[in-house]
Amino acid sequence: MKPTDISTPDHFHRVVDCQWACPAHTPVPQYIGLIAEGRYAEAYMVNWEANVFPGILGRTCDRPCEPACRRARVEKEPVAICRLKRVAADHKGDIAGYLPERTTKTNDKRIALVGGGPASLTVARDLAPLGYQCTIFDGDPKAGGMMRTRIPHFRVPEHVIDEETGYVLDLGVAFRGGTRIDSMKTLLAEGWDAVFVGAGAPHGQDLALPGRNEAHANIHIGVEWLASIWFKHVTRIGKRVVVIGGGNTAIDCARSARRLGGEDVRMVVRSRFGDMKALAWEKDDVQREGVVICNDLVPREITHDNGRLTGVNFEPVTSVFENGKRTLVSAGPCNISPAMTW
């Protein structure tokens, strides 16, 4: 038997399953213990050290820590690790005394950070206290990137984003909003000591279906549509809406559609209900708001009348699993469900 390797923190992370499963290796037991003692500010700071945006993550994290939680071995549900992060964030009070002080010393190194989302803000959070002069560039007017513009505010209120991006900017980080970087050559010519590119993935995935281009006026791409709502380019939607997809973005779109005037909003998903990518509580929320989830259907065609969207043609499928790999097998002919026509 090989001796235990304790030369890296990995060993200690692994011993705590939830901490190991968290991509940021947040010390989960430590902060939950602090919450149990009512020490919310300290619990928040344990999170802040590890994942920078506890208030936002407490509302949005995909929480891979929870399936790893050992509590689920003796009880039906794991500890609500993610929601407890929000508890710490909502009850922390004034944490000014816990945050690093804005440094007056500089090491004369200038860092340009492209993109004002979580990646650049995290780099700036770590470098600014060391004396680096960090400048973040973003095409949007305010810091936060996709956290601000592509997550609906009924899930993350804007004041939470202002607060948590503010903690980073207050460390002495310059933010140049409304400044889109289109040329790396021009940026590099400005003599920065280092450039960090954290541009994110702000574009969604399109579907190359017959009829898609013809009916484009009434077809929207998930994250881009959510951004259009934030920028107030979109303020309403038709009464009948089909959302294709079963992840958290699809859920956000369906819930947003309900708020913008959608009366008959349906999510159509190719996987089974239990296999959907969206989290269980997201599925509960969307159904509670009156959205119907239709599973085991694959979109095959957008139908239209001279470019006016009239429906979506779906093929029923069955999920067949072999060696853990899923294959979708046709379960019948394609048809235009009356529920999916206009």
> Which amino acid does the sequence have at 281?
W
Query: With respect to ligand SF4, which residue has the nearer C-beta, 119 or 197?
Result: 119
Q: Contact 184/101 with Cβ under 8 angstroms?
A: no
Query: With respect to ligand SF4, which residue has the nearer C-beta, 71 or 176?
Result: 71
Angstrom distance (rounded) from CA 271 to CA 259: 26
Q: What is the dihedral of CA 81, 82, 86, 87, to 10 degrees?
A: -20
Contacts with ligand SF4, 59-98, as mask; x by CB under 6 A: --x-xxx---------------xx--x-------------
Q: What is the residue-wise DSSP string for 305-337? A: ETTEEEEEEEEEEEEEEETTEEEEEE-S--B--
Q: Which of 257, 275, 274 is nearest to 266 (CA)?
A: 257
Single out the residue of 16, 22, 88, 143 in contact with ligand SF4 (rule: CB under 6 A): 22
Single out the residue of 26, 133, 248, 313 in contact with ligand SF4 (rule: CB under 6 A): 26
Q: Quote the least distance from Cβ 87 to ligand SF4, whole Å.
A: 12
Query: With respect to ligand SF4, which residue has the nearer C-beta, 82 or 268?
Result: 82
Single out the residue of 13, 24, 163, 179 in contact with ligand SF4 (rule: CB under 6 A): 24
Q: Does the protein bind ligand SF4 through residue 34 (CB under 6 A)?
A: no
Q: Quote the least distance from Cβ 46 to ligand SF4, whole Å.
A: 10
* CA dihedral over 13, 75, 278, 315, signed as positive or negative: positive
Q: Does the protein bind ligand SF4 through residue 57 (CB under 6 A)?
A: yes
Phi/psi of residue 28, nearest 5 degrees: -60, -55
Strand order from edge to edge, sheet including 264-268: 240-244, 264-268, 292-294
Query: With respect to ligand SF4, which residue has the nearer C-beta, 63 or 255?
Result: 63
Q: Contact 297/318 with Cβ under 8 angstroms?
A: no
Q: Which two tokens stand for residue 159?
A: 């004041």
Stretch that binds ligand SF4, among 22-30, 135-143, 224-232, 256-264 (CB under 6 A): 22-30
Q: Quote the least distance from Cβ 267 to ligand SF4, whole Å.
A: 24
Strands of 93-169, DSSP E: 110-114, 133-137
Per rule CB under 6 A, count of chain residues that contact ligand SF4: 13
Summarize the chain as % helix, strand, coil (round to 5).
Answer: 40, 20, 45
Query: With respect to ligand SF4, which residue has the nearer C-beta, 45 or 215?
Result: 45
Contacts with ligand SF4, 151-190, as mask; x by CB under 6 A: ----------------------------------------
**Which residue ranges make up the site for ligand SF4 (CB under 6 A)?**
22, 24, 26, 28, 51, 57, 61, 63-65, 81-82, 85
